[in-house]
Amino acid sequence: MNTTPATDTGGAVGTAAVDTVIIGAGQSGLALGYYLARQHRNFVILDAGTRVGDAWRSRWDSLRLFTPAKYDGLPGRPFPGDPLAFPTKDEQADYLEDYASRFHLPVRPNTAVTRLSHDGQRFHVTAGTQRWTAANVVLATGACQLPKTPGFAAELPSDVVQLHSHHYKNPAQLKPGPVLVVGVGNSGAEIALETSRTHETWLAGKPSGELPFRHGRTAARFLFPVVRFAGLHVLNTSTPVGRKALPKIAAMARPLIRTKLADLGAAGVHLVPRVTGVQDGAVMLDDGQRLPVANVIWCTGFTEAYPWLDIPALPANWREQQHRGIVDALPGLYLLGKELIFAEASETLPGVGRDAKYLAKRLAAKEAPQHGAEVRSGLAA
């Protein structure tokens, strides 16, 4: 990686001036970095993880991607190996780490952003004692940010093991006794199927349907190309059908992809109504049932959160005021890899490359001046 000393901008000691700061070195941030490097732009990618790919490594042990490897690669580097295989989460993590190294992308690991502000002209990014100023900031922090759990979770007895899916690794974390998995999404269904091998398992919630075909190599060969095409080219904000469908998609739960309800039943998983609260130490269900459980795994999703965002001029609904990741309320602020920012596939591996390419073109069109250098990539155009 080629580096040159940062330029002191007259502010805090060690402040470096760059054109663009990308916050997040996941697939979205790296894809954008690839295109910016090809433009010979002056940028830096900040990530809180110790290694590129750690967001994937931290997921539960048995997790596999839902998309076949042929659709999981980023621009300039196909995913290696069998194109119809479904990579493990560790294979995906290692691919991202190799990608960043292969293209000499300027990733700063162990760099958790603590403040993002704007002085009316430039952004100021703080990560501990490190500081950057930039004309552009791209929020590429991913979909799994702040785990969501209901408030009544605190009312469960202290001896009940509680884990969010974000922190679940495998059944060895659980104590003997029944397991309640809350949330019949893809995470909930897969985790419930796994815990049913070692524990009596209940799965609470309302199923939102399932794909009308069996997930696997045959689907990867014949059906996933159709699904991918629809998610990229039909269900987006540039088509009439996409503009009509995307708000409905945003409001609905996703169907089960790999695990079928029949699989859960065959494994002995008890499907029960949604959880409504806690009473006398037991979980209460919508139909009045009381479940005394030893373990609860909350598969209740995530909240998109930016606790370090300190820009009072941004309206409360700034997140919704965007087009293809370009935030209307503040020129120079961008979103990437977020749910439905352009297409149904925008937050998925098959979709991030196209959105990153579009954003890189928009950044180039701004023709931001080059202010010194934080890191310049060694990738040739």
Which residue spans within the chain are E strands per DSSP? 15-23, 43-46, 107-108, 115-118, 123-127, 130-139, 146-147, 161-164, 179-182, 201-204, 270-272, 275-279, 282-285, 290-291, 295-298, 302-303, 322-323, 326-327, 333-335
The lowest-confidence range among 186-190, 200-204, 356-360, 375-379 is 375-379
Per the structure, the complete domain to which residue 68 belongs is given by: 15-145+304-366
Range from 291-300, 359-368, 369-378 that averages highest in pLDDT? 291-300
Do 185 and 254 contact (CB within 8 A), yes or no? yes
| Cα distances (angstroms) measured from residue 181 to each of 35, 205, 268, 352 | 41, 9, 13, 30
- CATH code at position 100: 3.50.50.60
Residue 29 lies in a domain: yes
Q: Are residues 186 and 286 in the same domain?
A: yes
Q: Are residues 74 and 101 in the same domain?
A: yes
How sure is the predictor about 345, in pLDDT bands with cuts at 50, 70 and 90? low
pLDDT, one tens digit per residue, over 15-66 is 899 999 999 999 999 999 999 999 999 999 999 999 999 999 999 999 999 9
What is the model's pLDDT at position 243? 78
| Residue in this structure with the two tokens 């100021």, named with its chain if needed | 124
Residue 3 lies in a domain: no
Q: Are residues 200 and 78 in the same domain?
A: no
pLDDT, one tens digit per residue, over 72-131 is 999 999 999 999 999 999 999 999 999 999 999 999 999 999 999 999 999 999 999 999
Domain count, the chain: 2
The mean pLDDT value for 359-373 works out to 71
pLDDT over threshold 90, residue 381: no
Which residue spans within 9-129 are E strands per DSSP? 15-23, 43-46, 107-108, 115-118, 123-127
Q: Which of 263, 298, 333 is the last residue of a domain?
A: 298
Among residues 149, 163, 202, 159, the alpha carbon closest in space to that of 294 is found at 159
Q: Are residues 26 and 78 in the same domain?
A: yes
Q: Which burial class, exposed, middle or buried, applies to 139 when counting CB atoms under 10 A from its CB (0-12, 13-18, 19+)?
A: buried
pTM above 0.85, yes or no: yes
Tell me the three-class secondary structure of 185-240, residue by residue.
Answer: CHHHHHHHHHHCCCCCEEEECCCCCECCCCCCHHHHHHCHHHHHHHHHHHCECCCH
Residue 372 lies in a domain: no
Higher pLDDT, 371 or 211: 211
Cβ atoms within 10 Å of 315's Cβ, excluding its own:
11
